[in-house]
Structure 1
Amino acid sequence: MTDDPKKLAVAQLARDLAAGYYAFAVAHYVAANPLPINTLPPAEDLGKNPTGRIARKDGTFHTLNMRFYLDLFRENHDLQTRSLRS
């Protein structure tokens, strides 16, 4: 263990980056698997796909069709490969 705050900050950053990567890898595995479609939140309207929201800085948000993008990710192996590389 070190008492140097700079070294401690670097070690914590490395730990956080590794944990973030592992979490991303698990999320990637789940998204690429066809079974998680059953875990999406229910749609607001019967017969529609569930929607998600991505917040903007100004308080508004983007709306997205969660089923469409999950299917896109699951079916597009190039997209999966590119996302893992990034």
Structure 2
Amino acid sequence: MKTSFLKIVFPAFAIIMAVGLAFATEKDNLPQQGYAATPSGPVPVQTDCLDEGIIQCKEGTYFVYKDINLTMPLYERE
């Protein structure tokens, strides 16, 4: 009786934990594609900067933009 109960409870507990932890992931923490404005042209970079903010995001000494045309700047997390 005891092993039958455990065979049912453990998989159910694992499924419940998996579903619960899936909602704990924040979309804003995931890196996104950006482009650093270097003198030789736009260079693709992975960044965790935001679409809105006050201080413009930098990769090294170069500003980071969302698009390859360097028209939509990305901003630092506060």
Please classify the TM superposition score into its range, dividing by the shorter chain length: 0.3 to 0.5
Give the TM-score normalised by the residue count of structure 2.
0.37
Q: Larger Cα Rg: Structure 1 or Structure 2?
A: 2
More helix by share: 1
